[in-house]
Copies of this chain bind each other. A is one copy, B any other.
């Protein structure tokens, strides 16, 4: 697992690109403090204790590049367990470039994406699942995503995987003990007991695999289709739903508007709205949707908000639409819009239909009621229980492979195959569980994982 250039000192901008008040440039490695000392004027950093801050200037010969604050983290009390120097400079990309290049001039090397985290992992600061959780945490944009990533980063998920591994190791030890005494024909555990043990582990792994569907929603948002006839008020509703969220975000100024353009966080869950432009133009009813693309979008949906214009659509047409919605598997809400424009009987008739909510998309109180109804449709408990959720496709795949190996074990027990063959399959399952936390790893796997990180992390 030793890397080439392992004794190199690496340098990178750690804060986002762009103009801001401050930027952090991070150096990590054996020479981090020595290199910083060649650039920093104010104090001799080598002589300073760990976890201290020092004001001074970064100089290139006679030229003062910037006035900075330098933070020292001495090995092993740092993120990478190596010496780390964090230079907080003015947030100009020009100055950042000058300082980074100066560090390179004095012997540092530009860090590869994720290289700080990779070093932390290789130095035993945390395991691989925890390292991956850091990237998830950085990209978290809802409470559920943050919470799940934080649980994983703090080692909760890893502990569960480790517990499963321990159980499997215990199981393997029973099998292998028998193997050692195989000539004496001793049976330390009944086949039935073994079978029960494997089933128990398998059940836990299956629970984790099943949680990935939820995990994917937590990480990427719940695909939500707003459907309905043209002019039912779909865009009005979407804008109304997004409005407040935008206002909150804009309080801390100019956050990536494009990202939230079609996303909304409600009750800590991200709802990702899916364009139904095709639906709007070509069809009146779900049945009539011939377009493959739209069918696909509805199939992807985790929630359908089907809008009706109560002021123009007759109740019979609405009823038959809702009957169709009832027959398909995705949770839905039937939203009767423009309720302010039609008579009470019509509304009452509509409200007798299942999953119906009559409203005006322009009314703030109605919107709040709709939001509550949406949250009730989503299995909110699943998001909020402390139970472990797999959010990473790589982990899910490893769990699937581990389960396949365990199924081989079960089949082997049933067929009464020899212990040494059983042991092989058990080791295979252990291998796959070990991949998750990084006990088992390859350079390719690591390169693949960390190359997806941003530079400076």
Which residues of chain A have a CB within 8 Å of any CB of chain B? 12-24, 26, 51-55, 63-67, 69, 71-73, 86, 88, 90-98, 100, 110, 116, 134, 137-143, 145-147, 150, 153-154, 248-249, 251-256, 454-457
B19 touches A138 (CB 8 A): yes
Partner of A92, one of B65, B138, B147, B252: B138
A130 to chain B, nearest CB (A): 11
B110 touches A251 (CB 8 A): yes
- On chain B, the residues within 8 Å of A138 by CB distance are 19-21, 90-92
B18 touches A17 (CB 8 A): yes
A153 touches B67 (CB 8 A): yes
A264 to chain B, nearest CB (A): 13
- On chain B, the residues within 8 Å of A73 by CB distance are 53
A2 to chain B, nearest CB (A): 24
A54 touches B51 (CB 8 A): yes
Pick the most buried of A20, A150, A251, A457: most chain B CB atoms within 10 A of its CB: A20
Give CA–CA (A386, B18) in the complex, Å. 29
Partner of A52, one of B21, B52, B94: B52
The 26 sampled A-B contact pairs (Cβ below 8 Å) are A14-B20, A14-B22, A15-B22, A16-B18, A18-B18, A18-B256, A19-B139, A20-B138, A21-B138, A21-B456, A22-B456, A24-B88, A53-B53, A53-B72, A65-B146, A71-B71, A90-B134, A91-B138, A92-B140, A93-B252, A94-B143, A96-B252, A97-B252, A110-B251, A252-B455, A253-B455
- On chain B, the residues within 8 Å of A71 by CB distance are 53, 69, 71
A457 touches B21 (CB 8 A): yes
- On chain B, the residues within 8 Å of A96 by CB distance are 252
- On chain B, the residues within 8 Å of A20 by CB distance are 13-17, 138, 454, 456-457
A138 to chain B, nearest CB (A): 5
A51 to chain B, nearest CB (A): 4
Q: Please report whether the interface of chain A is mostly helix, strand, loop or mixed according to DSSP.
A: mixed
- On chain B, the residues within 8 Å of A150 by CB distance are 64-66
Tell whether A100 pairs with B134 under 8 Å between CB atoms, given A15-B15, A94-B146: no
A311 to chain B, nearest CB (A): 39
A137 touches B66 (CB 8 A): yes
Q: What 9 pairs between A and B have smallest CB-CB spacing?
A: A16-B18, A16-B20, A21-B457, A15-B15, A51-B53, A14-B21, A21-B456, A14-B22, A16-B16
Chain B's closest residue to A117 (CB) is B21
Partner of A95, one of B54, B146, B256: B146
Give CA–CA (A403, B332) in the complex, Å. 74
Give CA–CA (A160, B72) in the complex, Å. 37
A406 to chain B, nearest CB (A): 33
Tell whether A17 pairs with B17 under 8 Å between CB atoms, given A54-B51, A154-B64: no
A259 to chain B, nearest CB (A): 9
- On chain B, the residues within 8 Å of A26 by CB distance are 21-22
Other A-B pairs, 18, CB within 8 Å; known A15-B91, A24-B88, A93-B141: A12-B252, A13-B252, A17-B256, A18-B18, A19-B454, A20-B456, A21-B454, A21-B456, A21-B457, A63-B147, A67-B153, A71-B71, A90-B138, A94-B141, A94-B146, A95-B140, A98-B146, A253-B455
Partner of A140, one of B67, B94, B254: B94
A142 touches B18 (CB 8 A): no
B17 touches A146 (CB 8 A): no
Give CA–CA (A137, B89) in the complex, Å. 11
A92 touches B454 (CB 8 A): no
Chain B's closest residue to A104 (CB) is B251
- On chain B, the residues within 8 Å of A93 by CB distance are 141, 252, 255-256
Give CA–CA (A90, B135) in the complex, Å. 9
- On chain B, the residues within 8 Å of A16 by CB distance are 15-20, 23, 91
B141 touches A249 (CB 8 A): no
